[in-house]
Amino acid sequence: MRRASRAPHAPPPPLAPVGPGRRAFVTGALATAGLAAAGCAPPDTLISGETRLRQWNLFAGGDGLRMIEMHDAYQAEHPGIDFRATTFTWGAPFYTKVAMGAAGGRGADIATVHVSRLESLAPGRLLDPIDPGLLAEFGIDDTVVLPNIWEKCFFDGQLYAIPIDTHVLIQYINLDVCRQAGVLDADDRLVEVSGVDAYFDLLREIQGVTGDYGLSMDTWNPWSNFWALYRQQDGELVLGEDDFEMDDDKALAAMDVMYRLAEEGLAPRHSRDADTAANIANGHAGLMIHGNWEIPTLEATGIEFSATQFPAVFGNHRTRGDSHCYVFPHQRDRDPERTRAAAEYAAWMLHNSLTWAGGGHIPAYQPVVESAEYDALHPQSEYREAAENVQFEPEAWFSGSAGRLQEEAAGALTTLHQGTQTPEQALDQLKGTIRNLLSVPSPV
Amino acid sequence: MTQNTQAPAPRTAPGSAPAAPRGLVDVRRRPSSWTGLWFVLPFLAFYAVFLLWPAIVGFGYTFTDRSLAGGDVSFIGLDNWSETLTDSDMYDSLWNTLWFTVLSVPLMVVLALGMALLTDHARRLGWFLRLSFFAPFVLPVTVMTLIWGWMYNPSLGLFNGTLSRFGIEGPEWLFSEDTAMFSVVAATAWWQVGFNYLLYLAAMQSIPKDVYEAAAIDGAGVWQRIGRITLPMLARTTALIAVLQLIGSLRVFEQIYLMTMGGPNFATRTVIQYIYDSGFVGLRIGLASSMAYVFMVLIIAASIAQFRLFSRKEG
């Protein structure tokens, strides 16, 4: 304002030389630019004699800390590898970066993704196949990984992924609350119940102690819960070219459970992210259904807790799950030496995945799961069978973790928790969502 | 800060200065010179490389089925455009964006004006008010949404916790389709109103004091002075703030994405999020580009309309 009010023809105020002169400034700027350029392009194998290995991942929080711990150990054992790991935000932002890097033929040497997203990453174009022979040299083959997980890593008969773990929805138990409710046995294990009515009765007993809820669950991203309940009844979702098959009765039964849990006040109408764990930690609920990655969160709260498989609401312990896995993003000029280092790195991480298991995930590498050390991990060892009960989503470009289906389906399913739609209305909306997704040509 | 040129220049001698031409910037006639070009060249280069060129390329994408996952690209004519214009989800998200704008623009203009008036009159507490009114603006969006997300939490949050002390069962804030948008608007206003406030305050403080003194001598009260002097002198600032706020509100994305992810049941999904969902989650860059273009045209049209409206009012 002051400048505007100055008379237009007044002489400019004299400029006193401040700081470095023009030449010094230019020289400095050039030097800085040179340094920056050098920093952006670190010396390659030629100069350092080290093999360059770049890893991208999506692990933050408790997972991220454990991965850093493992990476530190890996680097200590591999001084000849110039290893650098980069963590990006979980979900769509991460997949965007992997896809775009690979589309330009300049992907990282190795990246972690969800096995359920393999199809949306266009194996063969955005992902380079992995030589099973090379992997076997480092001790990883179909004999050390569960068959249901190993199969998921193939596309068109070729191996594209190396599974790290299985992560599933499990049931957490607030031991203090459940002890008071008298639903634990002498060994502090939750009494085994089976069937919808028996499970609701169990929750009512717990609710009698908490005064609030029996069960804490995420109402904001309910697709996983729905999928577990639907699959417990053998519900199928068959995706065709432009049509799909879904069992309406079974879907309605699953939705009815979600609807009634909220309607009867046995589970919260609104719970998201941190709220879900807070509810069980504060004793507002005695049980919680959540991913096994919440174990570090509950450990941090200091409450006495345990965990078990997803409740047998429909008579079995099937649960929704997914696997983190390593993939080789497409590189235009794939260097055999770096590819070999990447395979060796992946195998090393699998062999040492006991650390990873500390975060709650069930390692894919069976010798670790069967070891005495894993047995001693509590409550991880309580739900190790969950890996065999895992139910993956049907393969499609829009399915899988952080995929379009999960995001779009949440719209219909949250209304069940809120009580704003009946199961029939929510099913109609969900089917419309799936129909919409099928109607668009696959972008992959 | 080109905005500052918008604030009314002190009119010490009305009529003596040539009337400013219509438009954003008061350009004074000067002998033509190419020297200025060199000064703007770096900006122009960046503008061309990082804005113009991508915009042109993006326009080209709208006629293709380009995918974020790479692969063969084929020309599909106007398919993306017709899909955009017939997609009911697109209209739903446009409606949500419009609703957010309708709720937020008047609120954030009036609130900023009220806060600026308060600061201008409360001389002693001025520094304190300036600090507290502007402080939220400097918070990163992630911090703001975390704070408000917890305060809004229906069972554990500050708001409902406080209400329950008085025996009132609070609303579900972000978790209900009926209240989610209002909650987002309130949080946004708290966070962003500081910028408008600052513009108003700067404009208000450049109104010459002798005008007020003369009015006071003639017996004008506080409200008369505000109504007859302050508000008319702020007309151009108001027009500027309203247009900037309109554009800002129409482009809303990040705080909603972080607070509600567009939920519950898409009640807060805005156009930008829908474009993001289609392009980055759904991988369909061609479609997302055509949506972005449709939306850009709407923003430009709305801005022109609003600016015309305000400049006409001014006479």
Question: Is there a domain that residue B184 lies in?
Answer: yes
Asked whether residue A123 falls in the same domain as residue A182, the answer is no
Question: Is there a domain that residue A188 lies in?
Answer: yes
Structure tokens at B39: 């000064």
Asked whether residue A127 falls in the same domain as residue A216, the answer is no
Asked whether residue A99 falls in the same domain as residue A182, the answer is no
Question: Is there a domain that residue B278 lies in?
Answer: yes
Nearest neighbour of A270 by CB, restricted to B9, B172, B281: B172
Query: Measured between alpha carbons, how far is B157 from B268 in angstroms, rounded to an integer?
Result: 21
Average pLDDT by stretches of 10, chain B with 315 residues:
43 45 54 80 93 94 90 90 94 96 96 93 86 94 94 90 92 92 96 95 91 89 88 91 92 93 92 93 92 93 83 58
pLDDT of residue A380: 94
**What domain range is B145 assigned to?**
95-314
Q: Under an 8 A CB cutoff, do A99 and B283 touch?
A: yes
Q: Under an 8 A CB cutoff, do A414 and B263 touch?
A: yes
Question: Is there a domain that residue A376 lies in?
Answer: no
CATH number at residue B251: 1.10.3720.10
pLDDT of residue B28: 58
| Shortest Cα–Cα distance, A4 to chain B (Å) | 7
Per residue of chain A (444 residues), what is the pLDDT tens digit? 333 333 334 444 444 444 444 455 445 454 444 444 444 444 444 456 789 999 999 998 788 889 999 999 999 999 999 999 999 988 888 998 998 899 889 899 999 999 999 988 888 889 999 999 999 999 999 999 999 999 999 999 999 999 999 999 999 999 999 999 999 999 999 999 999 999 999 999 999 999 999 999 999 999 999 999 999 999 999 998 888 999 999 999 999 999 999 999 999 999 987 889 999 999 999 999 999 999 999 999 999 999 999 999 999 999 999 999 999 999 998 999 999 999 999 999 999 999 999 999 999 999 999 999 999 999 999 999 999 999 999 989 899 998 889 989 999 999 999 999 999 999 999 999 999 999 888 888
Chain A contact probe: residue of B142, B283, B289 with most A CBs at under 10 A:
B283
Q: Under an 8 A CB cutoff, do A440 and B69 touch?
A: no
Instruction: Tell me if A262 sits within 8 A of A418, measured CB to CB.
Output: yes
pLDDT of residue B312: 64
Asked whether residue A431 falls in the same domain as residue A295, the answer is yes
**Chain B neighbors of A126, CB-CB under 8 A:** 69-70
Query: Measured between alpha carbons, how far is A283 from A230 in angstroms, rounded to an integer?
Result: 29
Pairing of strands A237-239, A165-174: unpaired
Within A109-212, residue ranges assigned H as helices are: 132-137, 147-152, 175-181, 196-210
Asked whether residue A217 falls in the same domain as residue A136, the answer is no
Question: Is there a domain that residue A296 lies in?
Answer: yes
Q: Quick one: which of A168, A224, A229 has its CA closest to A390? A: A168
pLDDT of residue B69: 81
Q: Under an 8 A CB cutoff, do B175 and A418 touch?
A: yes
Nearest neighbour of A8 by CB, restricted to B28, B156, B261: B28
Q: Under an 8 A CB cutoff, do B283 and A397 touch?
A: yes
Site of tokens 């000029």: A333
pLDDT of residue A423: 97
Asked whether residue A396 falls in the same domain as residue A335, the answer is no
Question: Is there a domain that residue A90 lies in?
Answer: yes
Asked whether residue A308 falls in the same domain as residue A225, the answer is yes
Instruction: Tell me if A328 sits within 8 A of A342, measured CB to CB.
Output: yes
Helix (H, G, I), strand (E, B) or coil at A23: helix
Question: Is there a domain that residue A374 lies in?
Answer: no
Q: Which residues of A touch B (CB under 8 A)?
A: 1, 4-5, 8, 92-93, 96, 99-100, 102-103, 120-122, 125-126, 219-220, 268-270, 272, 275, 278-279, 284, 397-398, 402-404, 407, 410-412, 414-415, 418, 420, 436, 440-441, 443-444
Q: How far is CA A328 from the centre of its chain?
A: 18
Question: Is there a domain that residue B132 lies in?
Answer: yes
Asked whether residue A338 falls in the same domain as residue A420, the answer is no
**Chain B neighbors of A96, CB-CB under 8 A:** 68, 280
Query: Measured between alpha carbons, how far is B7 from B10 in angstroms, rounded to an integer?
Result: 9
Question: Is there a domain that residue A155 lies in?
Answer: yes
Q: Under an 8 A CB cutoff, do B69 and A410 touch?
A: no
Question: Is there a domain that residue A219 lies in?
Answer: yes
**Chain A neighbors of B73, CB-CB under 8 A:** none
Q: What percent of chain A has pLDDT over 70?
A: 89
Site of tokens 């049209």: B301
Q: Under an 8 A CB cutoff, do A275 and B5 touch?
A: no
Find the length of chain A: 444
Question: Is there a domain that residue B261 lies in?
Answer: yes
Question: Is there a domain that residue B63 lies in?
Answer: no
Nearest neighbour of B265 by CB, restricted to A8, A415, A436: A415
Residue A302, number of CB atoms within 10 A of its CB? 8
Query: Measured between alpha carbons, how far is A317 from A319 in angstroms, rounded to an integer?
Result: 6
**Cis status, amide bond into B264, omega within 30 of 0:** yes
Give per-residue burial for A171-190: e unless 16+ CB within 10 Å, then b. bbbbbebbebbebbeeeeeb
pTM for the structure as a whole = 0.82
The helix (run of H) or strand (run of E) holding residue A408 is: helix A404-418
Question: Is there a domain that residue A154 lies in?
Answer: yes
Asked whether residue A342 falls in the same domain as residue A410, the answer is no
Query: Measured between alpha carbons, how far is A303 from B206 in angstroms, rounded to an integer?
Result: 60
**What domain range is A223 assigned to?**
169-321+387-438
Instruction: Tell me if A356 sits within 8 A of A74, measured CB to CB.
Output: no
CATH number at residue A132: 3.40.190.10
Q: Quick one: which of A133, A138, A163 has its CA closest to A148? A: A163
**Chain A neighbors of B75, CB-CB under 8 A:** none
**Cis status, amide bond into A379, omega within 30 of 0:** yes
Asked whether residue A298 falls in the same domain as residue A327, the answer is no
| Residue of chain A whose alpha carbon sits nearest to that of B8 | A1
Query: Measured between alpha carbons, how far is B134 from A398 in angstroms, rounded to an integer?
Result: 43
Question: Is there a domain that residue B268 lies in?
Answer: yes
Question: Is there a domain that residue B104 lies in?
Answer: yes
Q: Under an 8 A CB cutoff, do B266 and A411 touch?
A: yes
Asked whether residue A103 falls in the same domain as residue A237, the answer is no
Helix/strand number for chain B, H first, E second: 15, 0
Nearest neighbour of B67 by CB, restricted to A284, A414, A443: A443
Q: Under an 8 A CB cutoff, do A404 and B281 touch?
A: yes
Instruction: Tell me if A209 sits within 8 A of A282, measured CB to CB.
Output: no
pLDDT of residue B17: 44
Nearest neighbour of B153 by CB, restricted to A99, A275, A444: A275
pLDDT of residue A122: 85
Instruction: Count up the domains in chain A and report the number.
Output: 2
Query: Measured between alpha carbons, how far is B263 from B254 in angstroms, rounded to an integer?
Result: 13
Angle, in degrees to the nearest 10, between helices A248-263 and A223-232: 120
pLDDT of residue B29: 58
The complex's ipTM works out to 0.78
Instruction: Count up the domains in chain B and report the number.
Output: 1
